[in-house]
Structure 1
């Protein structure tokens, strides 16, 4: 497009005829010759007006038949005595279509803010799909399970500085908590060794020490995490500082799930009240539902012999001075059984009941052994007879020298301690299979602690062994033939074969030919249970007694108890057995109280 004609005089306006017309372009309103008349010389300025050529019309717009929009002209400012050119009406601009907002419709700005809140809430959910989570660990989780750092699979772990400070405060002493704190400190020291600052910021691989299941990274708090806490919460408290770290991490990483893991119930409640996700530590739980815990007993279906008795074989053997009948059966019900599990069938037609124990399993074939009837007086154990089916199963396990590890569960009054003590006295003083009975338990008080106890180790453990003293009185009842001297001699003999030991001094010991009874085993952690069971030497039998509904140890639940742990891990082993006692035999008052209270 050719350029317009240059002005001939200073401060003169360009006329419309000086601009060549573009084809298809709209005419641009320019001043006429009268309007563009030169001003008087005295008012003329020496500054020449700057004229800017309009932008050329685009070829594509011309092809489509659209008018090219003229560019704005920069016109020099006229003196005050020169009349301004008349304004022309501009073409009306098309207005955007406005949709009216209803009165009950949400405001657009408010709706947008609501979407942001929803996005922030979704990022806090623990089940974010396709992303790894960041778990912030409380101190009690590490002191409860020293290996908890490696239990989060592909997810990352974050340790606040206050968690490390609390670990340092609890590392002194000989308690289980102090030992766990020291073990965690050693593990962290091994992880951070030979690590530079960049690696600390990027995260330390948790698989560094050989834990292949831990695929995440470990992060430490390396800077001050600032977050607003609700008014009224003390800023200097350790739990509140950890909550502030969780809130700060959530703000720094809005697209990632940041979850607090704590064994402290009140801390989890405070976290949820602040809108922070918090969870309990469930990795140490053996079972989610304790109703699914292995009971050691199963009832056979009514048509068991019809489906499994076609090719049945039977024979008799004499083991340990007892004649037993063995059955080899094959059928579809066999794969659901376990070795040393008790089976029973009580027909309603008046036939004799069938009680047996699974001795071998090979595919769909099993060998069943009939039981000895300890409910009869001729088979009594130290004067004690079985009062129900479960007690008969328990005595068959307790009197079997091939069973090295036995667990008995049951509510109060089911006879756990009495059966164990009677079986121990019979095998120590009568059959002499074992040298002595060792009794131990966890010293966790039900109410307020009464303080330090005087005396030796056995004297200190005496108040904790009141249950055994009560059962010994029942077992020492005499018919009066020996008189007072005979009863006193019997009690002295029994006392000489029963040793009471504390759990605090069990580490490093080895028990050979001992009958070890662990009472109140539900208060033991899995690590403590492992420490005790591994003390067994040749010829030693270990009994674990307890009621998982009466746990007094802090941070232990029915699913994470050491007793639940060993019941689940030892099921199916040929040299272990388990029975859950269901019926109370202490008194009608105790049975009724267990049901209604």
Structure 2
């Protein structure tokens, strides 16, 4: 294998990474990929069938064929990974082309994992100035690798971010001196009963459209960013759903975050809203109230479609008998509970009115 700049790393991929994500070979940017022959053998052994693993194995094989192509040059020099629109990928793909010593004294036998570990160990020895790292979804092979002094990592590219503090929050708290730096040449106007401000200042380029900003000092200020142009931002004062006069199906926001959420949910110009919060913070209740108000009262929409992942709490309840509606009843408990809460808020309708409303909702 040709020598490479020691600043880049050499990643040896386990078969399970390729069968988990066929595009994983394009995820390492400037670094190189090495595939042992045993990895290709395992791909071939798992390509048959209709399962997702089999489909991924076949797709990986197609990707590899496209990378290697019909070029008759020696594979020892590697093949560029910058294909299929992956122009940002500058690394190369290397395949095992010769028999390599892969026997490790403490790992006897011809088990595929042990062969891969032996090859990684060999590559580490012949590239002392370069980081050689094993990437695998198998925790046991990673443990064995570390016991042998081999760097090993999990494949994280497709994992959901677990640190919620790093997620985009959708809100920004303004500093106390915000108006001192942004009030110069400020414009304000009303349009269709809505209040707008146009500000220019150093913080404006950092705002995002539909992001909430709030100022909690001498004169509280809550607004949503509607437009950004260079260092100028157009803001709209949000509606106060904490005020009892602005309830949505009898529901009022109980804090600043719920107020922000209702402003998003009640805005027909915003097509997609994501709410993140702990259980019991009102995500389902607010969403359902906003949906009912805009479907039954304002007639903006024709129907509400609610989907949810059927993940059981505790043990799996298994297959359920009955009709489709009866099968879904255990999974729709949260919806039913929130509908009951919303119906109880309609005090003027009485018992008959609430029952009629609930029947209407369930029949749509």
TM-score, structure 1 as length reference: 0.54
Structure 1 residue 430, shift from structure 2 partner: 1.6
Are residues 1:142 and 2:18 paired?
Answer: yes
Larger radius of gyration: 1
What pairs with 1:319-468 in structure 2 (closer than 5 Å)? 323-347=193-217, 349=218, 351=219, 353-445=220-312, 447-454=314-321, 459-468=326-335
Map 1:191-230; keep pairs closer than 5 Å: 191-196=67-72, 199-229=74-104
The correspondence for 2:359, drawn from 492, 506, 518, is 492
Q: 1:162 to 1:325 in 2, by over 3 A?
A: same
Q: Which residue of 2 is the match for residue 173 of structure 1? A: 50
Q: From 14, 28, 34, give the equivalent of 1:152.
A: 28
Q: How many positions carry a matched residue from both structures?
A: 359
Instruction: Write the distance in 2 (CA, Å) between the matches of 1:268 and 1:446.
Output: 31
Q: How does 1:71-86 map to 2 (within 5 A)?
A: none
**SS of equivalent residue, structure 2 residue 306:** strand
Shift of 1:222: 4.1
What pairs with 1:196-275 in structure 2 (closer than 5 Å)? 196=72, 199-229=74-104, 231=106, 235=109, 237-275=111-149
Cα distance, 1:488 vs. partner? 3.9
Distance 1:329 1:262, change over 3 A: same
Distance in 2 between residues matched to 1:462 and 1:380, nearest whole Å: 29
- Structure 2 distance, partners of 1:457, 1:181, is 35
Residue 470 of structure 1 corresponds to which residue in structure 2? 337
Deviation at 1:139, TM superposition (A): 2.7
Instruction: Please report how far the alpha carbon of residue 419 of structure 1 lies from its aligned counterpart in structure 2 after TM superposition.
Output: 1.0
Aligned positions of 1:113-128 closer than 5 A: none
In the alignment, the residues of structure 2 paired with residue 440 and residue 199 of structure 1 have an alpha-carbon distance, to the nearest angstrom, of 52
Inter-partner Cα distance in structure 1 for 2:360 and 2:330: 21
TM-score (norm 2): 0.85
* CA deviation after TM superposition for structure 1 residue 224, in Å: 4.5
Q: Runs of 5+ in structure 1 lacking a partner?
A: 1-127, 498-597
Structure 1, residues 407-459: CA drift from partner, whole Å, max 9, x if none? 11112221111111111111122212222222223344454444334456655
Unmatched 5+ stretches in structure 2? none
Structure 2: how far apart are the matches of 1:374 and 1:204? 59
Q: Is the 8 A contact 2:103 2:115 kept in 1?
A: no
The answer to whether the Cα contact below 8 Å between 2:46 and 2:54 also exists between their aligned partners in 1 is no
RMSD (CA atoms): 3.0
Aligned to 2:66: 190
- Residue 368 of structure 1 and its aligned partner are, at CA, apart by 1.5
> Could you give the per-residue CA deviations for residues 180-214 of structure 1, whole angstroms, max 9, x where no partner exists?
44432321233344254x53444333235453223
Q: After superposition, what is the alpha-carbon deviation per residue over 1:534-575, rounded to whole angstroms, capped at 9, x for unaligned?
A: xxxxxxxxxxxxxxxxxxxxxxxxxxxxxxxxxxxxxxxxxx
1-side partners of 2:305 and 2:47: how far apart? 32
* 1:201–1:305 distance in 2 versus 1, CA, 3 Å: closer
Contact 1:135-1:158 at 8 Å conserved across structures: yes
